[in-house]
Amino acid sequence: MKTTLELPDDLLIQAKATAAKRRTTLRAMFETALRREINYKQPAAQSKRFTTNEHGFPVIKRQGNALITNEMIYKIMEEEDI
């Protein structure tokens, strides 16, 4: 299906440049972005041990200067059922 979109000139220029750098088409970029937005799921309730960033990814909360290890991450993921 074809449709027409009105975009700000600067956004279209950036989109075309990005598509060229990624060696893809503007159409493919729009399709990917639309599918991502359509399939977006609201993050689950916040945990005391992590937050969710603007992209929906979990971000571990630090306790002072404590080092975060892979084992700690795996344990949290298991306990939070992520």
Q: What is the pLDDT of residue 34?
A: 92
Q: What is the pLDDT of residue 60?
A: 78
Q: What is the pLDDT of residue 63?
A: 74
Q: What is the pLDDT of residue 6?
A: 95
- The mean pLDDT values, 10 residues at a time, for the chain of 82 residues are 93 95 95 89 65 77 78 78 66
Name the 3-class secondary structure at 46.
Answer: coil
Measured from the Cβ of residue 21, the count of other Cβ atoms closer than 10 Å reads 8
Residue 15 to residue 50: CA distance in whole angstroms: 33
Measured from the Cβ of residue 72, the count of other Cβ atoms closer than 10 Å reads 13
Output b/e per residue, 40-59; b: 16+ Cβ within 10 A.
eeeeeeeeeebeeeeeeebe
